[in-house]
Amino acid sequence: MDKNKYKMLVNKYTPKENRLYNGLIAFIVGGLMGVLGQFLVSFYAYYFSVPTKDASVFMIITLVFLGCFLTCLGFFDKMVSFARCGLIIPITGFAHSMMSAALEYKKEGLVTGIGANMFKLAGTVIIFGVVSAYLFGLLRVMVIGG
Amino acid sequence: MTFKYNNVYINGTSTITGPYEAKGPFNKYYDKSYDNFYCGTKTWEQAESKLLVESVDTVLAKVMKVKKEVDLHISGDLLNQIVSTNYASATLGIPLIGIYSACSTSVLGLILGSNMLDSDQIQNCVVSVSSHNNGSEKQFRQPVEYGGPKRKTATFTVTGAASAYLSRKESPIKIESATIGRVIDLGVTDPYHMGAAMAPSAATTIYEHLKETNRDISYYDLVLTGDLGVYGKKILTEYMRLEYHVELNHYDDTACMIYDLENQPVFAGGSGPACLPLVVYSYIFEKMKRKELKRVLLVATGALLSPTMTNQKLSIPSVSHAISLEVNHDLS
């Protein structure tokens, strides 16, 4: 059997992922994360009397902490498996990927284990985050001049 | 390449498993199960090594032999440099042949042992294999605590170790013949659909075994593949029909048997080198001893996956080895 014919056979018996359902769940959970984030920003701005800019930083710290903490308790992976991009795209996904890698390699030492592997998944996000920030920043300067 | 054996027997077997297998349907047949992934050690890799040592100790206790009396230990696992095997062997102290053939290691080990026994090179040997779910996830996939979604075709690596003691002394289960498979690559690049990568190699090995032994598929009461999973099983059945005009009527796949697919989070079923021997040495041997099955063809399927090569956009080659087991009628 040639490769193309075999590919057709494999496709015939490969179950379809339920993209609409997954997308909907991700949309709802991701939206709720946005609501939570906004609530935290307003909460910090109002009760701690700090500017919105600082309150946003507090909100990020809170969500990163939650993502890390729940990962360490061992059930955030199940939540992510369910909500998919609803929890992966927000900052919680970034925290989750770092913390899960750190947990995985902690037995291999502080430097050779955690240090070398913590950014195994999150490293990509940082690199391309910086690259795209640079590109879009440049684009903005060229189009509207800063 | 097919070999025929005159008098090679499996005198005893042992099965040690992790927590998920213990919740599966064959729990009562296993010798021992651990309720966590560390099995009393500090890391998953060390846990796998411990499982392997225990499985060898258990089988030797069953056949009433001590380590000094064993000529050879043939063993393999999934981890890089087959570390579980090597570290287990440092504890065991039996002369070792360490082998790697991914999930087809179990049958490859049985074939090597049978060949050496049949040619009188050794008097006996222990053939073992192990795998560990978290150890494999760490090496081949993502960190265990990372919850990135998996597709329905993904499989769940079995945690456990299984050993068999082989010699020329007669016992109820005879190793009758075996076929070494070719490495086949039909262009499957998806590491989360290993059943599709492995099905053509299983089909090729089954077909060559039947051709070289001049047998019809109906000769066997059961054909059992290793870890194709729910979808790979369907692909193999259709592939055999289209390519070789062979109908697999009495056929099953141990990946679909070892777990409760409805209630356990195992996607398309089990996988890993220990999947096939855990089912065969427990449930299938029990059925053979009761003579409900007389001739069984085991086809261990191995996806020779390397994350480096799949990242280089290469497809996944696979290999399957087959071994034919029969109930020894002389003893009954």
Domain count, chain A: 1
Residues B151 and B177 in one domain: no
Residues B56 and B158 in one domain: yes
Q: Which of B138, B146, B186, B236 to mutate to test the interface with A (most CBs of A within 10 A)?
A: B146
Is residue B7 domain-shared with residue B122, that is, in the same domain?
A: yes
Minimum distance, in Å, between the CA of residue A32 and any CA atom of chain B: 19
Question: Collapsing DSSP states into helix, strand and coil, what is residue B325?
Answer: strand
A78 touches B at CB < 8 Å: yes
Q: Please state, in angstroms and rounded to a whole number, the distance separating the CA atoms of residues B200 and B303.
A: 11
The Cβ-side half-sphere exposure at B197, using a 13 Å CA radius, reads 27
Count of structural domains within chain B:
2
Categorize the per-residue pLDDT at B332 as very low, low, confident or very high, splitting at 50, 70 and 90: low
- Of the residues B110, B132, B167, which one is the last residue of a structural domain? B167
Does A10 touch chain B if contact means CB atoms closer than 8 Å?
Answer: yes
| Strand, helix or coil for residue B125 | strand
Q: How do residues B10-26 score in pLDDT, each as one tens digit?
A: 999 999 999 999 999 99
Q: Are strands B270-271 and B156-157 parallel, antiparallel or unpaired?
A: parallel
CB B106 within 8 A of CB B158: no
Residue A24: inside a domain: yes
Q: Are B51 and B132 in contact (CB under 8 A)?
A: yes
The answer as to whether A10 is a domain residue is: no
Distance from CA of B97 to the nearest CA of A (A): 28
A63 in a domain, yes or no? yes
Query: B142 is written with which tokens?
Result: 């993502």
B147 CB-near residues (< 8 Å, 6+ apart) = A76, A77, A78, A79, A80, A81, A87, A96, A100
A96 to B147: CB separation less than 8 angstroms, yes or no = yes
> How high is the pLDDT of residue B329?
78
Q: Spell out which residues of chain B touch residue A120, defining contact as CB-CB under 8 Å.
A: 143
C-alpha closest to that of B152 among B232, B260, B251 = B232
Q: How far apart are CA B63 and CA B48, in angstroms?
A: 23
pLDDT in tens, B206-219: 999 999 999 999 99
| ipTM (interface predicted TM) | 0.91
Please report whether residue A12 resides in a domain.
Answer: no
Strands B2-17 and B183-184: unpaired
Domain extent for B56: 2-167
State whether B147 and B26 are in the same domain: yes
| pTM of full prediction above 0.90 | yes
Average pLDDT of chain B, as a whole number: 96
Residues A12-19 have a mean pLDDT of 93
Distance from C-alpha of A93 to C-alpha of B281, rounded to nearest angstrom = 42
| Cα–Cα nearest to B274, from B68, B135, B176 | B135
Q: Which chain A residues are Cβ-neighbours of B186 within 8 angstroms?
A: 1, 3, 6
Mark whether B320 and B195 lie in a shared domain. yes
- The partner residue sitting opposite A76, judged by closest CB among B147, B149, B231, is B147
Domain hosting A30: range is 18-120
Q: Are residues B223 and B149 in the same domain?
A: no
Instruction: Kindly identify which residue of chain B lies nearest to residue A118, measuring between CA atoms.
Output: B143
Q: Do the domain assignments include residue A142?
A: no
Does B146 share its domain with B239? no
**pLDDT (tens digit per residue) in B155-214:** 999 999 999 999 999 999 999 999 999 999 999 999 999 999 999 999 999 999 999 999
Query: Looking at the domain assignment, is residue A58 inside a domain?
Result: yes
A9 is a domain residue: no
Give the angle subtended at the CA of B171 by the CAs of B72 and B86, to the nearest 5°. 20
Judgement on whether residues B262 and B113 belong to the same structural domain of the protein: no
